[in-house]
Amino acid sequence: MTVTEPSTPSLFRRLYVRFEGLVREGIKFGTIGLITFVIDTVVFNLLWGPLNTLVAGAISMTVAATCAFIGNRFWTWRDRARTDLRREYALYFLFNLVGLLIALTCLAVSHYALGFTSQLADNIAKNGVGLVLGTLFRFWSYRQIVFRKKPEDTPSSAPVAQRDRTA
């Protein structure tokens, strides 16, 4: 008769369990981001010829950010505590402005400082490098500041009599 050791979950499974909520939020955030990326890219390319490249980029990102706010508020972080919609919207757009500035800085450096002036180069700078850096910043700021977690029950919020029994 052989004794079998209890199986331990794989490293991948343990990591998934530990970060399951973050993974779920990341997938939803990414889905919204993919949809709004398409919106941003289409609007940017429609405006690229008639308008200055930075103006076209600012307009396209503003349209996409509005769509992203709706998707993230009502799907990605719908389980989070709701605060005043004006507060959330204002903070959301403040952090989107920072994300916009990150992407536009990448676009400006590529287009004006490095001299890559083709439509393809502008798309790579804005929708490649700028998008990745801006998205990382936005995910962190939305998750930590705009759509905060609901306050968890902490041991200090337990009734005094219950705390006395466990001490």
Q: What is the pLDDT of residues 96-119, one digit of tens each?
A: 889 889 999 999 999 999 999 999
Domains of the chain, by residue range, sit at: 18-148
Q: Are 93 and 160 in contact (CB under 8 A)?
A: no
Q: State the pLDDT at residue 120.
A: 94
Q: Are 73 and 100 in contact (CB under 8 A)?
A: no
pTM for the full model? 0.63
Q: Please identify which residue in the block is written with the tokens 């600012």.
A: 58
Q: What is the pLDDT of residues 55-65, one digit of tens each?
A: 998 899 889 88
Q: What is the pLDDT of residues 6-61, one digit of tens each?
A: 567 788 888 877 888 888 888 999 999 899 989 999 999 999 888 988 899 889 98
Rounded distance, CA 98 to CA 55, Å?
Answer: 16
